[in-house]
Amino acid sequence: MELFNKEYTKQYLTNNHHINENGELILEPVKYRWTHGATDLHLGDGLLVYSLIQFIRAKICVCIGTGGGFIPRIMTQARKDLWEQKIFKGNPQNEWGDIGTTIIVDASNGIGGFTDWTEENSFLRQHFTPQIIIETSERAFYDYFVRQDIKINYLHIDGDHSYEGVKKDFELYSTLISENGIITIHDTDKQYHNTFLVPDNQKGDFNTFDGPTKFIKELESNTEWNLVNLKNFIMFDKKVSSTGLTLLTRK
Ligand SMILES: C[S@@+](CC[C@H](N)C(=O)[O-])C[C@H]1O[C@@H](n2cnc3c(N)ncnc32)[C@H](O)[C@@H]1O
């Protein structure tokens, strides 16, 4: 007996897969899964995200900044499981049924990371069918979320990693969070960021990626949100379980 199906984890959550002409299973690690501490058989900080969504029974889950879609997969899986567990009822269709939706907001313009789901037949779209907004998070806020008055139950911020970018995402989208909603911000472990080795020709970009670590320092003294920093860099061995996840709930 097992709590999780590791073969499913490997084939769908932490890898994309296809069968080659010789009938062999070919696995391709989901982009940026390592930043979540995920491996073939392990979900890293995705397990925390899964648990938080299950705990608050989050229906509207939004991921700003998506890369290969690791966190959106977890969001959809948690919602589908809530239906199988008979917590959610009704039509279990991934995105337009009664079990809520997973919304991806990603500029997908090569700035701050790469995506692999813009094609209709991409692995992510075929198997997890998220709603996809290919736009900057700022424009999506005004022209999608505000216009439809969407309230978000679970928000993951992992888009523009500059200080100004992460601050703007938080300040805009936190106004849309429902009563018991949760926000997580990724890449918030300062020690991890400061010790990461970056190829010389990419240093310019990377140096502006310290926004999350700077912003959460500032958030510590805010009066509206409780903040918990989860990090485990340099504990026990080198199998880090996240580049830092900060969890926020309303006071
Ligand atoms: C490191 S990836 C995120 C990884 C992801 N959360 C996951 O589940 O593995 C960063 C993403 O942010 C996106 N991005 C950067 N700036 C953005 C902006 N202003 N608005 C929306 N997306 C942005 C990039 O296109 C990239 O896909």
CA of 34 to the centre of ligand 1 (A): 15
pLDDT tens for 38-60 read 999 999 999 999 999 999 999 99
Which CATH number describes the domain made up of 43-250?
3.40.50.150
Report yes or no: 71 and 130 within 8 Å, Cβ to Cβ: no
Whether the pLDDT of residue 207 is over 70: the answer is no
From atom 24 of ligand 1, which residue's Cα is the shortest distance away? 113
Instruction: Determine if residue 160 is left, alpha or beta; phi over 0 gives left, psi from -120 to 50 gives alpha, anything else beta.
Output: beta
Task: Return the pLDDT at 236.
Answer: 52
Q: In whole angstroms, give the CA distance from residue 211 to residue 198.
A: 17
- From residue 161, alpha-carbon distances to 50, 64, 168, 200, 210 in Å are 23, 11, 11, 19, 7
211 lines ligand 1 (CB under 6 A): no
Two structure tokens written together for 47:
């397990």
Q: Is the CB of 111 under 6 A from ligand 1?
A: yes
- Quote the ligand 1 centre to 140 CA distance (angstroms): 13
Q: Which pLDDT does position 95 carry in this prediction?
A: 82
Q: Which of 61, 111, 196, 206 most suits a substitution to test ligand 1, by most atoms within 8 Å of the C-beta?
A: 111
For the chain, the domains span 43-250
160 lines ligand 1 (CB under 6 A): yes
What Å distances lie between residue 163 and 168, 213, 228, CA to CA?
8, 8, 19
Q: How far is the CA of 2 from the centre of ligand 1 (A)?
A: 33
* Residue 159 in contact with ligand 1 by CB distance below 6 A: yes
Write out the E strands in the chain. 15-19, 25-29, 60-64, 101-105, 131-133, 152-157, 177-186, 225-230, 245-250
Determine if ligand 1 sits within 6 Å of the CB of residue 106.
yes
Cα separation of 32 and 36, whole Å? Answer: 7
Which 8-state DSSP code applies to residue 235?
Answer: B
pLDDT above 60 for 237: no
* Best probe residue, ligand 1, of 73, 160, 188 (max atoms within 8 Å of C-beta): 160
Whether 245 lines ligand 1, by a CB cut-off of 6 Å, is no
Residue 41, phi-psi category: left (phi > 0), alpha (psi -120 to 50), beta (remainder): alpha
Task: For ligand 1, say whether the CB of 158 is within 6 Å of any of its atoms.
Answer: yes
pLDDT over 60 at 111, yes or no: yes
Residue 204's pLDDT is 67
Q: In angstroms, what is the span from residue 104 Cα to ligand 1's centroid? A: 10
Amino acid present at 73: R
| pLDDT value of position 56 | 98
Query: Are 170 and 183 a contacting pair, CB within 8 Å?
Result: yes
pLDDT tens-digit map of 128-159: 999 999 999 999 999 999 999 999 999 999 99
- Ligand 1 touching residue 37 (CB < 6 A): no
